[in-house]
Structure 1
Amino acid sequence: MAANSQLPKLSLQNTDHEAQITPLEMDQTNEKKDLDYSKRSQWLRAAVLGANDGLMSTASLMVGVGAVRQDIKAMILSGFAGLVAGACSMAIGEFVSVCSQLDIEIAQIKRDKRSGKDQKEGEQGLPKPFQAAAASALAFSVGAMVPLLGASFIREYRLRLGMVVATVSLALVVFGWLSALLGGSPAFRSVLRVLLGGWLAMAITFGLTKLIRSTRL
């Protein structure tokens, strides 16, 4: 009887212990699984936009020049000029945009302080213009390097154009997949959207440049 009287107590203790630990473990597991992808939206948008813009604008510029000039030097110089000009443009644009956002948030914090609200958390999360500008320029440069590297070592004209299109297409697939992975969106739709948009941009640039050359405008 003494042994039997101890069993329910052990069972109750184990049950209480499980009841205390299990919800905590479940909360930790759910917290790891339930990622808030919206928190990534701002830096993800800037990174993907910068890299994709660098890739497409430089590749389209090189393909457009390649439509009227077959020598490798003209194509490489146009691509390099596009890289430098685009990176500077992206950095300045991002800097001005984030500075405007910073001014708005600081003004709002000052208004909240006058009304007695605590804004310590808001002050810690203020946007950083120089950081955003540097990240945008770096992302653009990384994307722009892809078509430049693809065309740098190929002398034959048609093969060079084909290599630019191939390397750019591969990079577009990678960028589309990464953006879907980090943003939690369907990978196929993201890749297809980016890939079709890139092909369309290169085709339009090549076709219009050819048309201008043929009409001798």
Structure 2
Amino acid sequence: MAAASLMTRHRERHSTQRTGWLRAAVLGANDGLVSTSSLIVGVAASGASSGAILTAGFAGLTAGALSMAAGEFVSVSAQADVAHADLELERAELAASPTAEFAELVGIYEHRGLPRDLAVKVAKALTERDALGAHMRDELGHNETNEARPTQAAAASASSFTVGALVPFLGMVAPAGTVRLVVIVAVTVLGLALAGALAARAAGTAGTAGTALLRPTLRVVLGGCAAMAVTGLVGVLADAAGG
């Protein structure tokens, strides 16, 4: 009774099952912030009107979100195709050479540290229950937690890109000129810091002392600032050349 109660209370929360959509969401949000803010900063630095800046920004947002969705869908679909091909190949090998496949499974468990007799017992039990599942999991590393989900990845990427891309537009409320550029950069840096911190916490890597939170946050912020600096310089050079 006590053991059953302990098992009920002991619930571990790991991040592995979130890997697929989390990767797509983090990439999407970061790309939305960096690419859109860089585009807006570059166009604004060239001396363009507010209308031109907004047009360029929203065009970049739309194109970026669709591109991220399509790219994630195609990429994760290819991953799913590979997993399906592995499944069919393993199914055929089990049908053609069950003894060799069983020996292979025993070898895997021995390599992981089980004594020979225990490895044989484990391989026999798992083979009798679900031979294909055992080989897919223990030989090839495929399982439910890393299953490819193209639609989920595409939706997470596109939606997070859109949310991230909207942040730099907050700077457009500032007066045109240098003040607007400063505000755009400032709100983008805050957005990048928030995205980095949320990604670290969602991944379960944020430590209580904040050290594990600081590193991914700085990585995201510094990368975004570098991109904005380069496109801002391009905008200034374009304005100078046009003038």
Q: TM-score, normalised by structure 2?
A: 0.71
| Alignment: residue pair count | 194
Counterpart of 1:161, as a letter, is L
Q: Structure 1 stretch 43-52 or stretch 130-139: which is displaced more?
A: 130-139
Give the equivalent residue in structure 1 for 2:229. 203
Give the equivalent residue in structure 2 for 1:134. 155
* 2:20 maps to 1:42: yes
Counterpart of 2:155, as a letter, is A
CA distance in structure 2 between the partners assigned to 1:127 and 1:28 by the alignment: 30
Counterpart of 1:131, as a letter, is Q
Relative contact order (C-alpha < 8 Å, sep 6+): which is higher?
2
RMSD across aligned positions (CA) = 2.6
Cα pair 1:181 1:187 within 8 Å, conserved? yes
Give the equivalent residue in structure 1 for 2:132. 118
Cα pair 2:197 2:217 within 8 Å, conserved? yes
Cα pair 2:65 2:159 within 8 Å, conserved? yes
1:123 Cα shift? 8.6
* 2:41 maps to 1:63: yes
Which digits, 9 at most, give the CA deviation of each residue in 1:133-173, with x for residues without a partner?
2221111111111112331x334322222221121111111
Counterpart of 2:215, as a letter, is R
Cα pair 1:169 1:195 within 8 Å, conserved? yes
Give the equivalent residue in structure 1 for 2:219. 193
* 2:83 maps to 1:105: yes
1:70 Cα shift? 4.1
Give the equivalent residue in structure 2 for 1:17. none
Matches within 5 A, 1:1-217: 21=2, 31-32=11-12, 35-114=13-92, 115-116=94-95, 117-119=131-133, 126-151=147-172, 153-185=173-205, 186-216=212-242
Q: Structure 1 stretch 49-58 or stretch 204-213: which is displaced more?
A: 204-213
- Secondary structure in 2 aligned to 1:41? helix
Which digits, 9 at most, give the CA deviation of each residue in 1:83-140, with x for residues without a partner?
0110111111111101111111111111222225334996967423223222211111
Which digits, 9 at most, give the CA deviation of each residue in 1:3-47, with x for residues without a partner?
xxxxxxxxxxxxxxxxx62x5555555543xx3333333322111
Cα 1:156–1:211, aligned 2, differ >3 Å: closer, same or farther?
closer
Runs of 5+ unmatched residues, structure 1: 1-19
Q: Percent identity among equivalent residues?
A: 42
Counterpart of 1:144, as a letter, is A
Cα pair 1:63 1:202 within 8 Å, conserved? yes
CA distance in structure 2 between the partners assigned to 1:169 and 1:98 by the alignment: 30
Counterpart of 2:202, as a letter, is L
Q: TM-score, normalised by structure 1?
A: 0.78
Larger Cα-atom Rg = 1
Counterpart of 1:163, as a letter, is V
Runs of 5+ unmatched residues, structure 2: 96-130, 206-211
